[in-house]
Amino acid sequence: MTTHLLVQYRHVCVRAVLDGAGFPGLILLTTMMGFGALAGLAGFSLPMSIAATVLIWGLPGQLAMLELWVGGAGLMASVVACSLANARFLLLTVSFLPLLRAGPQGKIALIGFAQLLSLNSWTMCQRRFPDVAESLRWLYFVCFALTIILFAIVGTVAGFYGASQLPGVVTIGLLFLNPLFFALVFAGVRQRYAVFALIIGAVLGAITYFLIPDWSLILTGLVGGSIAFWITEKRTDD
Amino acid sequence: MTDVTLWYLVIGSGLATMAWRYSGALFAASINVDTPFYRWISCVSYAMVAGLVARMILMPNGELAGVPLWIRLLATAAAFLIYALAGQRVFAGVLAGVTTLIIAIA
């Protein structure tokens, strides 16, 4: 395994852009095409569709907003639906921002980091950060996030103009990229507590979604995460 | 339905998501990475995200839902197998998984 420590600004930026322009970019392109197409059907203009992608920057919320709005639920209900579908960002920022401690810590920087964060960058950074010098991790994150936002915007525009008319088989293959990529990126995570949390979370996520879909994510996180934490702390004590 | 209302919808939804992000950022500021509390929060995040991924494979929505479960599982297994054999290359694994899926449904 090659684990160079990325210590130069330029190398970190290039690595981040290349990482972003691979599968993550393709995933954002594909999924945001879906969003762009639906937004167009819902009566959004192109600038509105792009603004939704950039400002909300979380597909589950974007889709929930559209679904409720198209269903005639009204402004407030649609906004609340978006917010609830994106509630995961609370946990993602809490667990992610401390990893950028060696970078800029001003108010504006932190707000910017929080706004750029998405599930893709959270995941990719967990895998890549061990290779990156601590003081430059924020740079890797920002370059990666900006790269995939670019892909997301292109996807939104393409979907808005009806470019999502790919053959069914190709679309399905592209959609499956998403979970596969995440699964394999996680396969490379090495910290012991993370490995336990991932395995327990995957099992629990499937079971709870089947039994109590509405509370599945919260329960999976709290229960699965706590079990993983407890196991790891116990083992470290030995 | 006016244009202005739709802009309210977009901006309102953006702000509503930002509320989570900024609460998280405020909270994060007081957390030290070397504490058990941070490790716990990390575990909770990892478990939640893993749950999401498992759900995307086992119980997807949209067009993927039309693909039989055994094909999705086969494709996932192929992805992990090739990933392991190819020296933990994510690219090779994902490619193998997606190819398996496409061949199986074509």
Q: Is residue B92 assigned to a domain?
A: yes
CA distance, residue B34 to nearest chain A CA (Å):
10
Token pair in block for residue A72: 């005639």
pLDDT at position A4 is 56
Nearest CA in chain A to B37: A229
Shortest Cα distance, chain B CAs vs residue A168, angstroms: 8
Identify the pLDDT of residue A1: 43
Asked, for residue B14, whether it belongs to a domain, the answer is no
Confidence at B3, pLDDT banded by 50, 70, 90: confident
- A11: number of Cβ within 10 Å: 16
What's the total number of domains in chain B? 1
User: Does B73 map to a domain?
Assistant: yes
Where in the sequence is the domain holding B97, given as residue range(s)?
A: 67-106
Number of CB atoms found within 10 A of residue A225's CB: 30
The per-residue pLDDT for B87 is 94
**Strand spans (E) along A74-232:** none
The partner residue sitting opposite A90, judged by closest CB among B24, B51, B90, is: B24
This prediction's pTM: 0.91
Q: Which residues of B touch A18 (CB under 8 A)?
A: none
Q: Is B44 on the interface with A (CB under 8 A)?
A: yes
Digitized pLDDT (tens) for each residue of chain A, 238 residues in all: 445 578 889 999 999 999 999 999 999 999 999 899 999 999 999 999 999 999 999 999 999 999 999 999 999 999 999 999 999 999 999 999 999 999 999 999 999 999 999 999 999 999 999 999 999 999 999 999 999 999 999 999 999 998 656 677 888 888 899 999 999 999 988 888 999 999 999 999 999 988 888 888 889 999 999 999 999 988 766 5
Tell whether B25 is covered by a domain.
Answer: no
Q: Is B4 inside a domain boundary? A: no
Q: Does B91 touch chain A (CB under 8 A)?
A: yes
Classify residue B89 as left (phi > 0), alpha (psi -120 to 50) or beta. beta
| CA B37 – CA A179 distance, rounded (Å) | 29
List pLDDT tens digits, range B49-104: 999 999 999 998 888 889 999 999 999 999 999 999 999 999 999 999 999 999 99
Q: What is the DSSP letter of A111?
A: H
In-domain check, residue B15: no
DSSP letters spanning B35-102: SHHHHHHHHHHHHHHHHHHHHHHHS--GGGGGS-HHHHHHHHHHHHHHHHHTTS-HHHHHHHHHHHHH
Residues in chain B with CB shorter than 8 Å from the CB of A52 are 10, 13-14
Is the Cβ of A75 closer than 8 Å to some Cβ of chain B? yes
Asked whether residue B80 is domain-assigned, the answer is yes
Which chain A residues have a beta carbon less than 8 Å from that of B64? 172, 175-176
pLDDT surpassing 60 at residue B1: no
For chain B, say whether A14 makes contact (Cβ under 8 Å): no
Tell whether B32 is covered by a domain.
no
